[in-house]
Every structure is written in structure tokens, then in C-alpha cells.
Structure 1
Amino acid sequence: MASLSQSAEEVQNAKLRSKSAHTPVPPRNDVSKAHDSLPPSLDLNKIEVRMNSLEGLSNGWRSLPDQVKARFEKKYGRIATLMRVNVQIPALKAMLSIWSPKYGVFSFNDIDTVPTMEEYQTLLEIPYLTQNRIYLHLEHRQAWNRLTHMIGISPEEVKSKETVKGNTHGWYWTHLKKWLDQYIQEKQWDRDSMTLALGIYGLILFPGPSGIITRSTVEVFWVVEKQEVNPIPAILAETLLTLTYCRQQGKGSIKCCSQLLYLWIISHMCPVETKGLTWYLDQPPIEKMTRLVISPKNEQQWRERILSFNSHDYCWRKLWASGQSILISTGGNQSVSLIGVTGYTSYTPALVMRQFGSTQSKINIEEYHQGHFYHEIKEEEGLKMARRSWENISLMERSPKGPSATRDYLEWRADRDREHSTAEFENSDPRQNVLLEEADNRLADSLQKANTENS
């Protein structure tokens, strides 16, 4: 692995720009044509957020002695805490309405923002060997064999209990839970912990069809268990993939780790509720987040709260860990490749540098590319390129300056607002002039504040 450590100042220069020797970006297929145009209108009534029942998992966790729970968290991170997250589904739907498939960010007012690997890692604290040792999406031919070894079930039983739902192969958790209960009764805590962790991976981190632990989840958990790979890129990939799919179709189901996405949302969108939290002293951030009391809101109320922010009062760095380095690119490109259990996508740290406490500057638009495809389409060459990109990662040290933006970025961001407003409302909606005027006002305000900050 070639690892590069950069200062925040260097990020403003050509380090983030593509070079001829860079790893090619995986190609787009027909699924991604909507990246080049406005997505269809979104009917939130046709958006579902499917979440599995976690009663069996919660009962299993409560049955563990405190010392076993401590060993569990040391090995698997804070994933069990996700069972206690009370998700407000309207918040997820409201955020979906501002998702931009073209740039892979939540885009509203003068803000671009997206969950990052560092933020998800700060919450979950999943241990791994090295940052670039990740899940690479392998064939699932040995999933039944993996399950046999991990859970202690006979091969015959594993094969006989495998089910197919749509195009998804897997095992119902109700069946695997019987083994969890047995190990709890027999006090086989190692087996019990492994079965419980697999359940969390299958029902929360990588949810498939209702109540099913998929083959893909078994493969992810196997490499985490046996090779200590970093699962965060795959978890983040599923989040961005499902947002893009639903936004492109204008309907569908949000199928990702909804608990984790919701925690990220409130960390940035609830400044009053999170104001009194001290993140890095007596308790992990996720423990404090689960104890927050967030007043219930409907989709319109969440959307109004979101749209009330501009770049100067948005909570850019709420989850940041002091001293943590930032992954800014893989393969020398502007983006970070993300391989999930259902497909490939990427995100561009250069678009959200203010979340890292750094200065936001304009990216190389001419060479910007938002790759996106699903594994079922068999993009073998694209998948190989994504894997190779992780052999060369670029890191940046955290900036002590605080969030800010350059003039060229603010102007480019305002131009995007104008293009979007013109394309969406041209010759059809009297709100067009109002929206364009609002974009101009935001630009003028941002430039004035940026000049003051830079001075």
C-alpha cells in the first residue's frame, strides 16, 4: 500500500486533482444514467423504511454477563448499541428528498454534506487491522460452509434451512436464534457472542429481506471475524446505494443501517439537543447519542428544520475525533471507492472538506465522476478497478483551522443552485425567479462572511 499523509493546506492544491497515472474510475452502467439529469419527482408516500424486529437480539444481549459484553465490544465495536436507537423514520425520508445522485451528497441551500467513513467509525468503533483492508465482495458459494463453522450447525441443517426470497439467498433469523438461545442457556459465551454479532450484522448493519440473514452478510461477517477487515466502507456503501436508488426511481425502500444514518442526521441537524454533549470524555459518542430526546416530527417538520440551515450555522464537525486522519481518496482519484454487498458506489471527501474542519475549495469538475453500479449486473471489470484503487490510499491530517470555504467554491456552489432551479422550473413555475434570487442572496451572504473569515 502506498499511503500519503497530507496537511490541510496541501489539499487546496493539486493533490486532490486527477493525474494520468491514477487508477481509472469504475464505469457507470444504465442504472446510473439519471446522474446526468434531474432525478424524477419524489413521492414520499411511496418510500418505505424497512426495519427488522430486534426483540430477539435485545433479549440475547441482555442475557450476557457484563464481562462478556465488554469482550464483545472490544472485538466487534459498539454495534450492539444500535439496538437501542429509536429512529424517527420521517427524518430519513426528509433527508432522501434532498439527496443528489449526481454528486453523491445531501444538497440543500449552500450546503453539501454526506456521512463519511470517519464519522461512522467514530460512532461504531469497530476494530480493524489496517484502513485499506476492506470487504471486496466475493462470490458466496461457501456461505453455507462459513455459517457451519461460525454457528456450529451441521452442514446438512444449514443447507436444508437455506431460503430464497426474490433473488436473495439466506437464512431466517428465527431459525438461527434457536442456537443463540441454546448457547445462552449453556453459557457458551464465545459461540453466543458470535451468533449475536452475526444477527446484528444481518438485521441492522446489512439488512436484506425481512428477517433474513443473507449470504452476503455471512460473507462480510466471515472476513470481519477471521481477517479483521474494515467493514465501514461496505456499511457506508449500502447507505449511499439505497439513497441513490430511491432518489432515481422516485420510490422504493430505504434498506441500509437506518439506525446509523439517523444518528448521523441528528448529530448535524439537532444543534440544540446535542449542544451540551461532551463527546470524548467519560462515554463513547454513540452511548450519549442514544440517550438524546429528540421531539417527534413529521416529514414536513424535519424538512423545514433541515432547510433552516446555511453553511454558517450548520453543525459541520459534530462527530469528529481529535487527531484522527482523514481518508481523502483511493487510487489517486478525487473519490473514495465503496464496495457494498449489493453494489459499488463512491463518495467525494473533497466536496465536504468542511466536515473535516478544513477549507472547502472547488473540485476538478472536468474530471469528476460519480461511479455507481449493482453487483447483479456483473460489472466485473469495474469491481476489479474498485478493488485495485484501495491499494493506493491518500490520507490527510485533521486541520486545526475550523470549517471555511474559498470564493471559487462558493461561486461554483451558487451556479449549481441556479442550474438546478432553472432546469426544474424553467417556463413552468413562477417560483423560478424567487429561487434564483434566493441563490444569489445566499452567494452574496456567503462571500461576505468568507471574506471576513479569511481576513
Structure 2
Amino acid sequence: MHIISQVHSRACSLIEMAIVPELKRKTCSYSFHREPLTSLIELSNLMTSGNQKGFVDQYGDILTLLKMVVDPVPLQTLLQFYDPELHCFTFQDYQLAPTLEEYSILLSVPVRYQVPFLDVPKEVDFRVVARALHLGIKEVSDNWKSSGDVVGLPLKFLLRVAREEAEKGSWEAFHAQLAVMIYGIVLFPSMPNFVDYAAVSIFIGGNPVPTLLADTYYAIHSRHGKGGAIRCCLPLLLRWFLSLLPVSGPFVDAQSTHKWTQRVMSLTSYDIRWQSYRMDVRNVIMSCGGFRNVPLVGTRGCINYNPVLSLRQLGFVMKGRPLEAEIAESVYFEKQSDPARLEQIGRAWKSIGVKDGSVLGKKFVVAMPDYTDWVKERVETLLLPYDRMEPLQEQPPLILAESVPAEHYKQALMENRRLREKEQDTQMELYKAKAGRLNLAHQLRGVREEDASRLRSKKRSYEEMESMLDAEHRECLRLQRVEASYQKKIRDLEKQLRDKDIQLKKEVDLRQASENHLGGGVLELRRQLKEKITLLPECSECDLLIDQCQYLKTLIPGGRLP
């Protein structure tokens, strides 16, 4: 009878939806900016498969977040379903909210049961920073800069020292420096190309999950209804959301025909992948100190989240509607505005309320009608951001009782155990395949580097030969131009010589003619002169006078005549 009434109620609601358009909540436009990560990805590729395994063992699976492409469309869709009063995402008949345990599994980083990061120290201890990053104290202090209202280390400096460590083969130092860069640029983004002191402090503390979850909730909550930039670890949020969605079937098949909003609106609680990696979670942090929920401290502000709304994600049964104290907003403020409240949260984390299966019950991943009805009532108040869609795949029957028949439970338990064993085998095969792929990629990179080196060598030889031939060609052209110039000069000189020769011949002919003309006159003059000249007779008196002069000359002292 109850089933018939539910079917009738659903049919009536569908008819009403077809007649009267359902009211929808206002949507906002969000932006999801990420800094260029090419330099970091290239740096991470310097590691071999063995080095990568050591890196993941020490710092978790943060390389996946570094290389993950963030699609803004699913994030834009997800944020439209945010419930600001409950600090979760409320859909048609189910709720989703990221948890400490899920972030821990996705990152392969355990949550330490201790006081998480509260705030950066007032004074920078360069010795602690230098020791954590395997750098010299002076090297850190000299490169410690300010950017905006934060201080820290420039990304350019860390990239340089990390490359130097890789060249030396100092992989421990390289891993630490690469990890802190991923912390500052991917996990806790603050300023462009800058790793601030908060990211360095969280890296040194080694307990990043609570701060990551806090930044996620605080960024979404502070921008709800306003839109704008969401500054948190976007790849981790997207990875969490996608891990809950179907990976096969109509939801995936419809991606080419339906928008993201339509596909999400078609999902019901039966389509969500509750039984994924979360089934191994045994202990859940449910409260801290006097808080009935979990207060979180991020890099910018504080906010609480309500684990009671996420139990189904961790494999437990959602028995009924939660208590008001468990879902009330206990914390939401900017850190700098209330230091006393921040200290109170720090004290609360010294008394962590952890519950296990003995309290939360057996894992059966179902929601009882009381809880589902409460969610639907919440939807009527909150409204949905988009038009309802019929489910894309056939829905199973409802669970109408709080208890499950033992036979069905045992069957489900055996199936669950079988699937878990199969998942473990698949994970092992996947790990081996990834290791083989990384090894092949490393070998391929080595072969490509050798080929590139040979190609560069050949290219240099060809370039040198081409340069030499080009130089010889230019020299040949120059010599041809010089030869042409000299030939022109020779032709000019030959012409000048010919002209001179002609002129000289003319002058010789003129002189010859002149001499011939003058020659006759000279002969005539000689003849006439001979005729006129008469020979003088010999004179003895002259000879006598000359002798007397010579004698007198000998008589005068000094041989001088007056």
C-alpha cells in the first residue's frame, strides 16, 4: 500500500511539474583560475619511476593533482547546488560533502589526530625552513621575499635550486623542494609564482588534509551568491566530485547529447557511486571538543563542516534526519578577525571525537526514507538551480524499512566482499600497468633524448657545412666583382695607352717633318757659314804674350795676379 501511495505521489508530482513550472534558485557564475604549471610538470618529469614511487610514499599522490586538467564546467555545475546553511551540496534526493577521510584517501596522505595548521608563526625561523627544504640558512634568508601581503619564496628560486639538486642526483632534496612548490602553487595557491609562508608551514607540519578541506569550504561559502574566483585546490575538489559520479552507462553515454547540468539533474541517489574507495574507511572524525561538528581552519578563514551528512559517502547507512546541533553553523569567520575564536578551535582539536562502525553501524550504503524525505523537504525550501530531468537509467525499488532481510544482507555482503577483492586485484594490476608504463616512458624518453642529440649533431654538421659553402659562395662573388673591376681598369688603361700611342706617333711625325724641314735650312746655313768664315793666320806674338804671363805668375807669391 505504501508503495502504491509513493508511486501515486510521484505521478502526481510529475503531472504538476508538467503543468506548473517549478521555481528555481538563482545561479552564479564562478571562475576557476590556475597558474601555468608547465615548469613544475617539466621538473617532475625529471624523476624516474623509482624516484616517483619514493616521492609518492613520502608526500602522497600530489603529482596527480599537479598534472590534472581542471574542467571548469563540472565545477561550475557543482557549485550551483551548494547549501549555505548546511555547508554541503544538496541535490534532488541526496547530499554530498567532501570529508577529511575522502581527501585523505584521494591524496594518499593520512589525517593526523593532532591540532592542524592554525596560522603562520609571527617570526620566521629560517633554520626550520632551511632544514625542511635542504637549503642553507643564508640561502633561504637572502631569497625570502614579500609578495602582496604575504612573505615566502619565489617560485623561480625554488625551480633553480631543484634543477641543481636533480643534476647532482640529490633526490631527497629535490623531492622536498618539488613538494613545497606543489603545496604553494597547487594545493594552497596564494600569489602568482610564489610559495608563501603558510604553504611552507603546512608542508613542514605534514598534515595538509584539514587545511585543504577548510580552504575548499571557505572558498565556496564565501563566494556563494556572489560568484567570482574560487581560490582553493581545484583539482582535488574536481577529483572528489568525479569520484562519486557514474563512470559508465547512460550518464557517460549522454555526454555528447546532454549538458552537464542536465546529466547531473538526471542523477538520483541510486546513481551515485557510494561503494568506491571509501568502503575501507573505519574511523570517522565526527566532532572536536565542544563542537558537535568539525571546525576547520584554512589559510584565510575558519568554517565548520558536518560529517553526519556524509556518512553514506563513507559506506554507512543514513538512518534519519540529523540533529539540529549536528548541522548548525558553528564556525565561519576570517582568521584575523577573531583570534580568540581561533584559539578555541585549536583547543577543540586537542579532543577529537572519532567514531567507528560500532557506533555508526554496519556498512550498507543506503538512506532510509526518513532521511530522504528530509532532503526533499530541504529541496523545496532551498530550490534546485535547474529543471528536473527524468533519470537516464532505470531506478531500483525503494528500501521502505529500517531493517534489511538477513538473506539479502548476507548476499550483499558477499557481493561486496567479492567486489572488494576484485577491486584490490584491479588496483594491483593497475599499479603494475602504471609502473610498466612509467618504465617504458622513461626508456622512450632516453631513446628520444639520444635521437635528439644525434639529430642536433647532424643538424650542427649540416649547418656548419652550409655556413662554409655560403662563405665560399660569398667569397667567390666578391672575387668575381674584383676581377670585373680589374678587367674594366685594364680596358681603360689599354684605351689610354692606345690614345697615347696615337698621339705620340702624331708628335713624332710632326717632329720628323719639322726636322726634315729644318734639316735643309741647317745645311744651307752651314754652307753659307763656311763661305763667310775665313781662317785666321797664326800669330807668334800671342804665343809670346802667353809665355810671359805664365812667367809672371810664378814670380808673384801665392800664385795670384793682382
Which bracket does the TM-score occupy, shorter chain normalised?
0.7 to 0.9
Q: Which has the higher contact order (CA 8 A, sep 6+)?
A: 1
Alpha-carbon offset, residue 310 of structure 1: 1.6
> In the alignment, does 2:307 pair up with 1:349?
yes
Alpha-carbon offset, residue 84 of structure 1: 2.4
> In the alignment, does 2:352 pair up with 1:369?
no
Alpha-carbon offset, residue 350 of structure 1: 0.7
Alpha-carbon offset, residue 109 of structure 1: 0.9
> In the alignment, does 2:234 pair up with 1:258?
yes
> In the alignment, does 2:211 pair up with 1:234?
yes
DSSP 3-state at the match of 2:151: strand
Structure 2: 5+ residue runs without aligned partners?
1-24, 405-562
> In the alignment, does 2:364 pair up with 1:402?
yes
Alpha-carbon offset, residue 102 of structure 1: 1.3
Residue deviations 1:381-431, cap 9 Å, x none?
A: 21112112222222233554422233432332222222224xx99xxxxx9
Alpha-carbon offset, residue 296 of structure 1: 7.8
Q: For 2:363 and 2:203, how far apart are their aligned partners in 1?
A: 39
- State, as a whole percentage, how many aligned pairs show the same letter: 23
Query: Of 117, 120, 144, which residue of structure 1 is paired with 2:103?
Result: 120
> In the alignment, does 2:28 pair up with 1:43?
yes
Alpha-carbon offset, residue 157 of structure 1: 5.3
Which amino acid is the alignment partner of residue 185 of structure 2? L
Which amino acid is the alignment partner of residue 272 of structure 1? S
Alpha-carbon offset, residue 98 of structure 1: 1.1
Alpha-carbon offset, residue 95 of structure 1: 0.9
TM alignment of 1:181-330, pairs within 5 A: 181-224=163-206, 230-248=207-225, 250-272=226-248, 301-322=259-280, 324-330=282-288
Question: For the Cα contact (< 8 Å) 1:328–1:349, is it kept in 2?
Answer: yes
Q: For 1:366 and 1:187, how far apart are their aligned partners in 2?
A: 55
Distance of aligned partners of 1:366 and 1:124 in 2 relative to their CA distance in 1, 3 Å threshold: closer
Q: Which residue of 2 aligns with 1:88?
A: 71
Q: Which residue of 1 aligns with 2:89?
A: 106
Distance of aligned partners of 1:80 and 1:265 in 2 relative to their CA distance in 1, 3 Å threshold: same
Q: For 2:250 and 2:306, how far apart are their aligned partners in 1?
A: 27
Question: For the Cα contact (< 8 Å) 2:94–2:372, is it kept in 1?
Answer: no
Q: Which residue of 2 aligns with 1:64?
A: 47
DSSP 3-state at the match of 2:248: helix
> Aligned Cα RMSD in Å?
3.4
Which amino acid is the alignment partner of residue 389 of structure 1? A
Which amino acid is the alignment partner of residue 319 of structure 1? Y
DSSP 3-state at the match of 1:179: helix
Q: For 2:281 and 2:221, how far apart are their aligned partners in 1?
A: 32
Q: For 1:194 and 1:245, how far apart are their aligned partners in 2?
A: 32
Question: For the Cα contact (< 8 Å) 2:317–2:362, is it kept in 1?
Answer: no
TM-score, with normalisation over the residues of structure 1?
0.73
Which amino acid is the alignment partner of residue 271 of structure 2? D
DSSP 3-state at the match of 2:322: coil
Alpha-carbon offset, residue 62 of structure 1: 1.8
Residue deviations 1:11-33, cap 9 Å, x none?
A: xxxxxxxxxxxxxxxxxxxxxxx
Which amino acid is the alignment partner of residue 210 of structure 1? P
Distance of aligned partners of 1:332 and 1:308 in 2 relative to their CA distance in 1, 3 Å threshold: farther
Alpha-carbon offset, residue 174 of structure 1: 1.7
Which amino acid is the alignment partner of residue 232 of structure 2? C
Structure 1: 5+ residue runs without aligned partners?
1-39, 225-229, 276-292, 426-430
Residue deviations 1:280-318, cap 9 Å, x none?
A: xxxxxxxxxxxxx999889x8222222211222222232
Question: For the Cα contact (< 8 Å) 2:28–2:80, is it kept in 1?
Answer: no
User: Larger strand proportion, structure 1 or 2?
Assistant: 1
Q: Which residue of 1 aligns with 2:399?
A: 450
Q: For 1:317 and 1:206, how far apart are their aligned partners in 2?
A: 30
Alpha-carbon offset, residue 133 of structure 1: 4.8
Distance of aligned partners of 1:182 and 1:321 in 2 relative to their CA distance in 1, 3 Å threshold: farther
Q: For 2:178 and 2:364, how far apart are their aligned partners in 1?
A: 40
Query: Of 387, 392, 400, which residue of structure 1 is paired with 2:346?
Result: 387
Question: For the Cα contact (< 8 Å) 2:246–2:271, is it kept in 1?
Answer: no
How many pairs does the alignment contain?
373
DSSP 3-state at the match of 1:134: coil
Alpha-carbon offset, residue 269 of structure 1: 1.9
DSSP 3-state at the match of 1:106: strand
Which amino acid is the alignment partner of residue 308 of structure 2? A
Alpha-carbon offset, residue 184 of structure 1: 1.0
Question: For the Cα contact (< 8 Å) 2:293–2:326, is it kept in 1?
Answer: no
Which of 1 and 2 has greater Rg? 2
Question: For the Cα contact (< 8 Å) 1:330–1:394, is it kept in 2?
Answer: yes
Distance of aligned partners of 1:273 and 1:223 in 2 relative to their CA distance in 1, 3 Å threshold: farther
